[in-house]
Structure 1
Amino acid sequence: MTRLGFARRLASARRCLVGTWVKIPALEPVEILADAGFDFIVIDQEHAPLTFEFAYQATVVAQGAGLSVLVRVPDRSGSHLQRLLDAGVDGILVPRVTSVAEASAAVRQMLFSPGGDRGLGTTSRAGRWGGTPRAEYLRFGDEEVMRAVQLEDRAALEAADEILDVAGLNGVFLGLGDLQLSSGLAPSDPEFQKLVDRLLTAAQARGVPAGTAVQNAAQAREAADRGYRYVMVSNDTSLLRSAATSVVADLGSRFAEGAPHGV
């Protein structure tokens, strides 16, 4: 079965792709998110207790349900990249990248030789356990898997042009929350917006899809209008919390402690 990788899916899409973060270590939320109509999920191993085994299982379930699967790895060490790529994920986000050297090291581990250092694993799930011809396996890995770095530090944003020129980099993610912390600037500050515009302009000039995370649909529409090509809206835990809180709030005083029965 021919599968469209996330990098090629982004290149061919005529709209911003919409996904959400997965933080709950269970497969049912993955199916629910697929049924809801999201384009992709991001399995969050940086800010949630999600193991490789769960990421593998969630990838199988999500892709079977029509979702693309990205994984945000725990750190930029590179120790998790090979096994996730062998698991057949559609893309990887490497967090906390602050320099050209770090970006280059991360990307090289996700590219096959001679462009990189990724190990050959044709008998893995990514190679359909040996069923995919070697040439197609190599082509898909280098051309269709998204290799993205997260730029979340002011210094990284100021070096965006150089980082985005790293050979083989085909995705970038802007971490707005950490950028606020590192810059000491509020999102409304013109200097903050200049940093954001700098990244978006550099990414667009190089044809590198830029993504970010937002809290709600209105912010997602604003991000799409601004030029982001993929956006994560909320996450499974927050969506559950919001729905549960809304139900309890809607019940109001009728079910409040001490309210008379039969009211």
Structure 2
Amino acid sequence: MARLGFARRLAEADRCLVGTWLKIPALEPVEILADAGFDYLVIDQEHAPLTLEFAYQATVVAQGAGMSVLVRVPDRSGSHLQRLLDSGVDGILVPRVTTVEEASAAARQMLFSPGGDRGLGTTSRAGRWGGLSRQEYLRFGDEEVMRAVQLEDRGVLEQVEQVLDVPGLNGVFLGMGDLGLSTGRPGSDPEIQKLVDRLLSAARARSIPAGTAVQTAAQARQAADRGYSYVMVSNDTSLLRSAATSAVAEFRA
């Protein structure tokens, strides 16, 4: 059965898609998150000890359960992109992108030639083990997989229009946590909010879906109302901790 890549799924959605981060190196949380009704999950290789092999396994399980799968790669070097894309993931988040040149390099590594430098791998899982035609494999990779950069530095947000004009980018993610660190200002600061508005306006003008991460469902609804197309709410470890802490506190009360 044909499935939708995340870029196409976002384009066809009539609402903000809700996902969460996967940090625990086990497959049971993947099934639990799917049963809970999340639209997608983000395998977090930047801030969790998740290997390529585990990411592959989690992708198979998550997609089989009806979720889309994004991977936040460990860094912006590009060394992980080819194998993850050929594993059949639905999108990539490249973290710590701070310049237009870095955004361009990331996009090129996720696009097939002549627009980019991604190699041909039709016998991989992304090519259905050779079951897809070469044309369909190339079309899906270039048109349906989301190629997003994570912006979390004031300097790059001040040139966000040039970043989003990079050929091949079809997604952007705003990292509010590190933006706060880089500016020394809370997210509620008016100057920070101006940068957020600028990103959302630039993304909307170019029909590029913008995403972010929040801690609560209420914050996710606010993000959706503000114009984000996809939002991550909490993560598997925090959800487990919250439930466990509440259960113990309720018992002891």
Q: Give your verdict on TM over 0.5.
A: yes
Q: TM-score, normalised by structure 2?
A: 0.99
Supply the distance in 1 between the matched residues of 2:204 and 2:99 (Cα, whole angstroms).
20
In the alignment, is residue 210 of structure 1 matched against residue 207 of structure 2?
Answer: no
**1:42 alignment partner AA:** V
Q: CA deviation at 1:252?
A: 2.0
**1:52 alignment partner AA:** L
2:86 aligned residue: 86
Deviations 1:33-53 (A, max 9, x none): 000000000000000000000
Which structure 1 segments of 5+ residues have no match?
254-263
Q: CA deviation at 1:147?
A: 0.1
Q: CA deviation at 1:187?
A: 1.6
2:137 aligned residue: 137
**1:181 alignment partner AA:** L
Equivalent residues in 2 for 1:241-260 (5 A)?
241-253=241-253
1:17 aligned residue: 17
Which structure 2 segments of 5+ residues have no match?
none
Supply the distance in 2 between the matched residues of 1:202 and 1:130 (Cα, whole angstroms).
39
Supply the distance in 2 between the matched residues of 1:244 and 1:188 (Cα, whole angstroms).
30
SS at match of 1:172: strand
Count residues with an aligned counterpart: 253
Supply the distance in 2 between the matched residues of 1:222 and 1:3 (Cα, whole angstroms).
29
Two-structure CA RMSD over aligned residues (Å): 0.5
2:27 aligned residue: 27
**1:63 alignment partner AA:** Q
Equivalent residues in 2 for 1:25-64 (5 A)?
25-64=25-64
In the alignment, is residue 160 of structure 1 matched against residue 160 of structure 2?
Answer: yes
**1:70 alignment partner AA:** L
1:123 aligned residue: 123
1:102 aligned residue: 102
Higher CA-based Rg: 1
Equivalent residues in 2 for 1:228-243 (5 A)?
228-243=228-243
1:147 aligned residue: 147
SS at match of 2:69: strand
Supply the distance in 1 between the matched residues of 2:178 and 2:220 (Cα, whole angstroms).
19
In the alignment, is residue 77 of structure 1 matched against residue 83 of structure 2?
Answer: no
2:200 aligned residue: 200
Supply the distance in 2 between the matched residues of 1:187 and 1:112 (Cα, whole angstroms).
37
SS at match of 1:76: coil
SS at match of 1:109: helix
Q: CA deviation at 1:101?
A: 0.4
Q: CA deviation at 1:186?
A: 1.4
Structure 1 window deviating more from structure 2 (198-207 vs 185-194): it is 185-194
Supply the distance in 1 between the matched residues of 2:133 and 2:189 (Cα, whole angstroms).
52
SS at match of 1:207: coil
Supply the distance in 2 between the matched residues of 1:117 and 1:106 (Cα, whole angstroms).
10
Q: CA deviation at 1:159?
A: 0.9
Supply the distance in 1 between the matched residues of 2:107 and 2:188 (Cα, whole angstroms).
33
Identity of aligned residues (%): 83
Q: CA deviation at 1:183?
A: 1.0
1:187 aligned residue: 187
SS at match of 1:179: helix
Q: CA deviation at 1:171?
A: 0.2
SS at match of 1:142: helix
Supply the distance in 1 between the matched residues of 2:165 and 2:194 (Cα, whole angstroms).
20
